[in-house]
């Protein structure tokens, strides 16, 4: 299962690679990373059919995660997008649901729960 992680914080890459190392080694999951909404869209336009899931942070400079979600759903309607935020605010939650997110999680992430959800959706 190919999953794209979108977050402007570069250290997220190492964190996800550490937390999913067993699944990566076993070939159960293939993680790719984009550090902006714009970069994520470029990846998707070139390889959309390869991805099963996008996990996106909401608060990013430039194109934020909600704008990214809306654009993904317009261009790649069948692609599942899960939103991640450090802020549990109701307005972002409602907007994300309205734009079509499949799941909404707050930081800090419970990686055991996240792994379970991802594997159930593979």
For 42-66, the pLDDT digits (tens) are 999 987 678 999 999 999 999 999 9
What pLDDT digit, counting tens, does each position of 23-35 carry?
Answer: 999 999 999 999 9
Q: Number of folded domains in the chain?
A: 1
Residue 89: inside a domain, yes or no? Answer: yes
pLDDT > 90? residue 82? yes
Instruction: List the domain range (segments joined by +) for residue 36.
Output: 2-115
Residue 33: inside a domain, yes or no? Answer: yes
> What average pLDDT does the segment 65-92 reach?
93
Confidence of residue 106 (pLDDT cuts 50, 70, 90): very high
Residue 122: inside a domain, yes or no? Answer: no
Closest CA to 84 of 53, 52, 62, 42: 53
Residue 84: inside a domain, yes or no? Answer: yes
Cβ atoms within 10 Å of 60's Cβ, excluding its own:
22
pTM for the predicted model, two decimal places:
0.95
What CATH number does residue 34 fall under?
Answer: 3.40.50.2300
Residue 120: inside a domain, yes or no? Answer: no
> What average pLDDT does the segment 93-121 reach?
94
Residue 99: inside a domain, yes or no? Answer: yes
Residue 17: inside a domain, yes or no? Answer: yes
Residue 18: inside a domain, yes or no? Answer: yes
- Which pLDDT score is estimated for 76? 93
- Which pLDDT score is estimated for 48? 65
């Amino acid at each position: 299962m190919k999953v794209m992680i979108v977050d402007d914080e570069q250290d997220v890459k190492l964190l996800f690679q550490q937390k999913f190392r067993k699944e990566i080694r076993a070939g159960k999951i293939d993680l790719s990373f984009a550090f902006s909404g714009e970069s994520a869209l470029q990846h998707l336009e070139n390889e959309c059919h390869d991805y099963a899931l996008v996990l996106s942070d909401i608060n990013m400079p430039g194109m934020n995660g909600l704008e990214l979600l809306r654009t993904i759903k317009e261009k790649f309607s069948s692609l599942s997008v899960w939103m991640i935020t450090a802020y549990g605010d109701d307005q972002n939650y409602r907007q994300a649901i309205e734009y079509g997110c499949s799941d909404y999680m707050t930081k800090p992430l419970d990686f055991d729960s996240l792994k379970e959800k991802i594997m159930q959706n593979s």
